[in-house]
Amino acid sequence: MAMVNFKRTFRTGFLNFSRNSLVSLSSVLVMTITLCVLGGVLLFQHVLETTLVNVENKVDVTVYVVPGTDETSILTLKDKVADVPEVASVDYVSENQALADFRARHADDQTTLQALDELDQNPIGAMLNIKAKDISQYESIAKFFDNTGTLGTGSQSIIDHVDYSKNKADIEAIQNILSNGRRLGLVMTLILMLISIIVTFNTMRLAIYFAREEISVMRLVGASRSHVQGPFIVEGALYGFVATLLTLVLFLPITFWFGSHMTDFFGGVNLFRYYLGNILSFAGILLVFGTGLGALSSVLASRKYLKV
């Protein structure tokens, strides 16, 4: 019996959806715009977060050791730094490796290379490249090296200087953009969601008005609340379902264009490939959001105007 009632409710809701074509179309279009904004926010956040991760991977604290320091002292320093709670990893770069890296970076600068060849010893000291567990912890790691008394042999420090990566300012800027982008996307989604609720609400009110005689008869014969209200909830959910399908189709050419022309601008992120690879996740999010929005609008309209 329950299955029969469910089928009857769904069939009635589908008939109402197809019968009120103009009002249904208006609700579907407004809801499609809302879902497009939501999908755009999801893609925008992925681009920003990917860019943030790429820049974060380039940020570190570089400790330059005084040239000529024996390796044992440097490795002791490395162990001390590794014990700092905020430190994720410490990479040791020997003097010879640092010199080789320097030569590679200045391969086209013959004047600098000739000057190096004229020196009797390696002027470049060893280095420690330190990665933090979280970007906010680099400042506390840098402060660790203020206590130079524990970082040397005897009373003399083996630290030449500590360099904060210049990417720190870029990271903070990207974090601000990401935070502001999330807020903007949330505000836009909420505004359009409110508009969708209002439009769908009025659509359902019209549908209820057109069906007022049928509803009166159903009430007179003792129809239950769910029996009267169910078809309108199904109709609202169908608005969200159709809007989800339209949104998923629209995003194919949109992301294809961005993936073909804006990959470098987005820091190497190909939106089309990302969208195709995560289309099921997008479909799930949009479907839940869309059908839930339509059903909620229907519930609000039916509670206010059906008087069940």
* pTM tops 0.75, yes or no: no
The DSSP bridge pattern shows strands 87-93 and 152-153 to be: unpaired
**Residue 262 in this model has a pLDDT that exceeds 80:** no
pLDDT tens-place string over residues 209-234: 766 676 666 666 666 666 767 777 88
Tally of CA atoms within 13 A in the half-sphere of 250 that contains its CB: 16
pLDDT tens-digit profile of 159-218? Answer: 877 776 666 676 677 667 767 767 776 787 778 777 767 776 776 677 667 666 766 666
- Who has greater pLDDT, 297 or 290? 290
Nearest of 211, 195, 201 to residue 294 by alpha carbon: 201
| Residue corresponding to tokens 């999908």 | 39
User: pLDDT for 101-150, tens place per residue?
Assistant: 878 887 787 777 777 777 777 778 888 888 888 777 777 887 777 665 44
Convert the pLDDT of each residue in 238-254 to its tens digit: 888 999 999 999 999 98
Query: Are residues 99 and 134 in contact, defined by beta-carbon separation less than 8 angstroms?
Result: no
The answer to whether 131 touches 58, Cβ cutoff 8 Å, is no
Task: Please report how the helices 167-210 and 279-305 are oriented relative to each other, as an axis angle in degrees rounded to 10.
Answer: 40
Using the structure block, give the residue that is written with the tokens 């019968």: 19
CA separation for the pair 124, 122 (Å, rounded): 6
**Structural domains of the chain ordered from first start:** 2-55+170-305 (no CATH), 60-164 (3.30.70.3040)
